[in-house]
Amino acid sequence: MVYFSPSQDGSGDTGGKGGGAGGSSGGNFSNYTAISILGPTLISPEHLNKYAKSINPSAVELGGLYVLYGDYYGIRGDIAFSQALLETGYFRFGGDVRSTQNNFAGIGATGTPVRGASFATPEDGVLAHLQHLFAYASSESLPTAYPVVDPRFHLVSRGTAKTWTALNGKWAVPGTTYGQSILSIYGRIIDFAVADLKAMRGRV
Question: Over 73-104, what HEC string results?
Answer: HCECHHHHHHHHHHHHCCCCCCCCCCHHHCCC
CA-only gyration radius of the chain, Å: 16
d(CA 68, CA 74): 10
pLDDT of residue 24: 35
Helix, strand and coil in the chain, % to nearest 5: 45, 5, 50
How do the pLDDT tens digits run along the chain, 204 residues long? 545 544 333 332 222 322 332 333 455 676 788 899 999 999 999 999 999 999 999 999 999 999 999 999 999 999 999 999 999 999 999 888 999 999 999 999 987 677 899 999 999 999 999 999 999 999 999 999 999 999 999 999 999 999 999 999 999 888 999 999 999 999 999 999 999 999 988 887
Q: What pLDDT was estimated at residue 27?
A: 55
Distances in whole angstroms, Cα of residue 63 to Cα of each of 99, 159, 169 = 17, 25, 27
**For residue 110, what pLDDT is reported?**
81
* Cα distance between residue 88 and residue 120, in whole Å: 17
Q: How far, in Å, CA of 154 to CA of 107, rounded?
A: 13
What distance in Å separates the CA atoms of residue 32 and residue 165, rounded to the nearest whole number? 7
| pLDDT for 12 | 29
Per the CB < 8 A criterion, the answer to whether 124 and 62 are in contact is no
pLDDT at 204: 77
> Rounded CA gap, 162 and 128, in Å?
18
- pLDDT at position 1: 56
CB 106 within 8 A of CB 89: no
Answer whether 19's CB lies under 8 Å from 176's CB: yes
For residue 37, give the DSSP letter. S
Bridge partners of residue 168, in order along the sequence: 172
Q: What is the pLDDT of residue 3?
A: 54
What span, in angstroms and rounded, lies between the C-alpha atoms of 135 and 46? 27
- pTM of the model as a whole: 0.87
User: First CA to last CA across the chain, in angstroms?
Assistant: 45
- What's the pLDDT score for residue 95? 87
What b/e string do you get for 169-204 counting C-beta neighbours within 10 Å, with b at 16 or more?
Answer: ebbbeebebbbbbbbbbbbbbbebbeeeeeeeeeee
